[in-house]
Structure 1
Amino acid sequence: MSGDRLDVIIFGASGFTGKYTVFEAVTVLRGLRWGIAGRNREKLEAVLKEMGAKAKKDLSQVPIFIADVNDETSLLEMARKCRIVVNTAGPYRFHGENVVKCCIESGTHHVDVSGEPQYMETMQLKYDQRAKEKGVYVVSACGFDSIPADMGVIFVEKNFDGVVNSVEIFLESGIKEGDSGGGTAGLNYGTWESAVYGLAHSDELRGIRTQLYSQRLPKFFPVLQPRPLVFRSTEVDKVCLPFPGSDRSVVMRSQRFLYEQDKKRPVQMHTYVGFPSWVVAGVVILFASIFGLLSKFRLGRTLLLNYPGLFSGGLASRSGPSEESMSRTYFKMTFKATGWPNSDRLAECSDQYTEYPTKTLMVRVSGMNPGYGATCVALLSTALTILRESDKMPSTGGVLTPAAAFSKTGLISELEKHDHGIKFEILANK
């Protein structure tokens, strides 16, 4: 790539996630040359002023580029100015494809924080081969909660000292103990919009996956069965429900890649979200049922999009969460892995065990401000890792998941360095 390019351009920098990515860039991208891009120069200048004041650093000399998702010429010009585009302009279902296409044609890497399986898998279907031809990495799901889940499974496998059969993940979030005040960080409107359209069009996934994968992954003994719809977890002492996010689809894409490329036995995985009581879980089920029903109809989607606070129980809003609430919100993901010790390892990854797993590992992945602190640090850390450790990544490029791209890199160590980073720790090893 041309030596006069910037290292990174943050696209969509005037959006809610974008501006906090600018703030975290001051420390995460220290020593690199970076700029910002979006549609409106005045808004971009305002972001540099606001986030510069917050970071106590003069950002007035950060380069600004004007680019619009509907103007491919401007996107190409932007992509040619840098080595990697950090794309925060969602919902990616509507705004992501042109950016990906222009980055690939410009020989520029691309990372984003999409949690939209239809978008991510469509990009893989349409652009994986072209990205390989151009030697470009396109990596989605680079924020919370997919980075903790996907890289958490990698952390589990690296520390298991044996063969992992399955992983169950239990997600918790809340307000840091000892802090005053109520409320939670919540969601900005873009995240809510992505969820509405993602669920509305979830039936598209079957067709996409049929084209992506001509063969299913083999079923390994023992099969990890899903837990009941509602249950109390002894692992985290919470009332749990199945987690509806994209984590499982991202992790299973990673496991397929590692099975096909590295001949590694794929890990089975289910993920759950925990609540403090049966009553709270019941309320969540009620809101989720209404959300699921309304998302299937045009009128229902209009209501969801026009009244996000009402239909999310106050979780989502057009203004987004306050900085005070974001700073006090934590997340914890507890991983329960089961498998066999090294002494029982089979010769080939396709061989079947006949005995049930005898070994267990408990791991925790945690952090603060998951939506707009840990997410932004994770996103920038993936960009940094591509720039510094591409020799440890799949040599051909491609449209990849985080674990497929970064399993052999130092991304986990990078994530742990920063104030709003992500901590990986072992709880118990039996």
Structure 2
Amino acid sequence: MSATPREFDIVLYGATGFVGKLTAEYLARAGGDTRIALAGRSTERLLAVRQTLAEPARSWPIVAADAGSPSTLDEMAARTQVVITTVGPYSRYGLPLVAACAAAGTDYADLTGEPMFMRNSIDLYHKQAADTGARIVHACGFDSVPSDLSVYALHRAATDDGAGELLATDFVVRSFAGGLSGGTIASMLEVLSTMSNDPDARRQLADPYTLSTDRGAEPELGPQPDLPWRRGRRIAPELAGLWTTGFMMASTNTRVVRRSNGLLDWAYGRRFRYSESMSVGSSIVAPLASAAFSGFGNVMTLLGGRYFRFLPRGLIERVVPKPGTGPSAATRDRGYYRVETYTTTASGARYVARMEQDGDPGYKATSVLLGECGLALALDRDKLSDLHGVLTPAAAMGEALLARFPVAGVSLRTERLAG
């Protein structure tokens, strides 16, 4: 980053959106004396959001910035150490801000779940960001912090024990309550549209190493399907009796985790295989539910990849949650997630990482994770990695986030298993 002093520690861009407001509320509680500003297109709406916050956030400065006016993004990026952005779909609105931050040497954190946006960000701005000292960190919410940090924590535990590199590693959503945000669904529709209209994007998204730092250096480990369906005991003995199916955000999360491995010079190992699933229970219908969900997901991927343009997108957009909307506070508070990630190392040791957090995953929990990523980038610079460029949460700030999680109400524990 530039040595020139910055006016702000953090600028929250998109503060008038639904998740943007939740992130502002979290930063108002957790930010302490951090110098924070709220940014977006409408000064009037930003002032209205600011009035809902607790003191001293009601005196936070307001910054007018618009994705349609790159010069305003340049000015915003030059004024702050870190930009947090909730403005998506990112493939439509995100690259001008990435460009501004890369040019200014400003750190950046977003909520994208769009692999092709991340790929374009890497191709266009990784080198420039590395040269200016910027950290461009994608996927800083429920997509993909639990996935990325769970594997990072397992790597740390195995390294501390001298247990060797990670081999088969499986992330399992054991239970959750809540839904996908309107912004996440808008991003998913954008991904399907891109796949439908761009054969090269379909080819890249079929590659498990879409986000690789060096595709030629990646190991060829055979198929790594995004939507597997399996008995739980095939993942770990502790899951005997359960059935699992593919997790809906696996196509994004798995590629982020694999990029972390590459960015960290393949510290997890050259034979590291990673998958994501969710439990569908142990009832008599669980095997059918497992197969049906994975089958439906694979059909939707096929439709998205080739035929999405023929589907009534307007109708779909009318019935799904709109960007900027979300559930009531009571519903958000009732939400939660509990995930477990199992791994076996080269020495035969087995470990599990258990991560859990209260709050609707797509809204309340995500706003906490995004806020903590922004605070880590701004305040914990001595704990950040030496890497710069287009990064992942684990590669940029794994140690800082692990230290921050307990105070933020995020539990992440690792355990060495018997057998």
TM-score strictly above 0.5: yes
Asked whether 1:40 is paired with 2:42, we answer yes
For residue 307 of structure 1, the aligned residue among 308, 312, 318 is 318
Q: Distance in 2 between matches of 1:424 and 1:90?
A: 29
Q: How big is the shift at 1:283?
A: 6.4
One-letter amino acid of the counterpart of residue 29, structure 1: G
Q: How big is the shift at 1:85?
A: 0.3
For residue 403 of structure 2, the aligned residue among 409, 413, 421 is 413
For residue 257 of structure 1, the aligned residue among 245, 260, 263 is 263
- Residues 264/339 of structure 1: CA separation in 2 closer, same or farther (3 Å cut): closer
Q: How big is the shift at 1:61?
A: 1.0
Q: Which residue of 2 aligns with 1:367?
A: 357
Q: How big is the shift at 1:327?
A: 1.0
Q: Distance in 1 between matches of 2:217 and 2:6?
A: 45
CA RMSD for the aligned pairs?
Answer: 2.8
CA contact (8 A) 2:231 2:244 kept: yes
Asked whether 1:270 is paired with 2:275, we answer yes
Q: Distance in 1 between matches of 2:110 and 2:211?
A: 24
For residue 23 of structure 1, the aligned residue among 22, 25, 37 is 25
- Residues 103/225 of structure 1: CA separation in 2 closer, same or farther (3 Å cut): closer
Q: Distance in 2 between matches of 1:32 and 1:187?
A: 30
Q: Which residue of 2 aligns with 1:107?
A: 105
CA contact (8 A) 1:229 1:242 kept: yes
Q: Distance in 2 between matches of 1:130 and 1:329?
A: 40
Q: How big is the shift at 1:154?
A: 0.8
- Residues 224/291 of structure 1: CA separation in 2 closer, same or farther (3 Å cut): closer
Equivalent residue of 2:341, what SS?
strand
Equivalent residue of 2:407, what SS?
coil
Q: Which residue of 2 aligns with 1:248?
A: 254
Q: Distance in 1 between matches of 2:79 and 2:416?
A: 47
Q: Which residue of 2 aligns with 1:171?
A: 173
- When normalised by structure 2's length, the TM-score is 0.84
Q: Calculate percent identity across the aligned residue pairs.
A: 27
Q: Which residue of 2 aligns with 1:312?
A: none
Q: Which residue of 2 aligns with 1:380?
A: 371
One-letter amino acid of the counterpart of residue 87, structure 1: T
Q: Which residue of 1 aligns with 2:143?
A: 145
Equivalent residue of 1:395, what SS?
coil
- When normalised by structure 1's length, the TM-score is 0.82
- Residues 265/31 of structure 1: CA separation in 2 closer, same or farther (3 Å cut): farther
For residue 341 of structure 2, the aligned residue among 318, 325, 335 is 335
For residue 7 of structure 2, the aligned residue among 2, 5, 8 is 5
CA contact (8 A) 1:193 1:305 kept: no
Q: Which residue of 2 aligns with 1:232?
A: 231
One-letter amino acid of the counterpart of residue 107, structure 2: H
For residue 389 of structure 2, the aligned residue among 391, 398, 403 is 398
Q: Distance in 2 between matches of 1:58 and 1:386?
A: 21
- Residues 270/131 of structure 1: CA separation in 2 closer, same or farther (3 Å cut): same
Q: Distance in 1 between matches of 2:406 and 2:211?
A: 37
CA contact (8 A) 1:167 1:336 kept: yes
Q: Distance in 2 between matches of 1:210 and 1:4?
A: 31
CA contact (8 A) 1:196 1:301 kept: no
CA contact (8 A) 1:259 1:266 kept: no
One-letter amino acid of the counterpart of residue 259, structure 1: D
How big is each residue's C-alpha offset from its partner over 1:298-336, in whole Å with a ceiling of 9 and x where there is no partner?
242514543334xxxxxx456322221111111111111
Equivalent residue of 2:68, what SS?
coil
Q: How big is the shift at 1:77?
A: 1.4
CA contact (8 A) 2:167 2:269 kept: no
Q: How big is the shift at 1:232?
A: 3.4
Q: Distance in 2 between matches of 1:294 and 1:265?
A: 33
Q: Distance in 2 between matches of 1:155 and 1:214?
A: 25
Equivalent residue of 1:143, what SS?
coil
Q: Distance in 2 between matches of 1:26 and 1:212?
A: 36
Equivalent residue of 1:60, what SS?
helix
Q: How big is the shift at 1:375?
A: 1.5
Q: How big is the shift at 1:394?
A: 4.2
Equivalent residue of 1:259, what SS?
coil
Asked whether 1:119 is paired with 2:130, we answer no
CA contact (8 A) 1:125 1:212 kept: no
Q: Distance in 2 between matches of 1:308 and 1:249?
A: 29
CA contact (8 A) 2:8 2:80 kept: yes
- Residues 122/336 of structure 1: CA separation in 2 closer, same or farther (3 Å cut): same
- Residues 322/393 of structure 1: CA separation in 2 closer, same or farther (3 Å cut): same
Equivalent residue of 1:131, what SS?
helix
Q: Distance in 1 between matches of 2:290 and 2:326?
A: 24
Structure 1 stretch displaced more, 143-152 or 368-377? 368-377
Q: Distance in 2 between matches of 1:34 and 1:227?
A: 38
Aligned pairs for 1:55-134 (under 5 A) are 56-57=54-55, 59-134=57-132
- Structure 2 unaligned spans of 5+: none
Structure 1 stretch displaced more, 272-281 or 161-170? 272-281
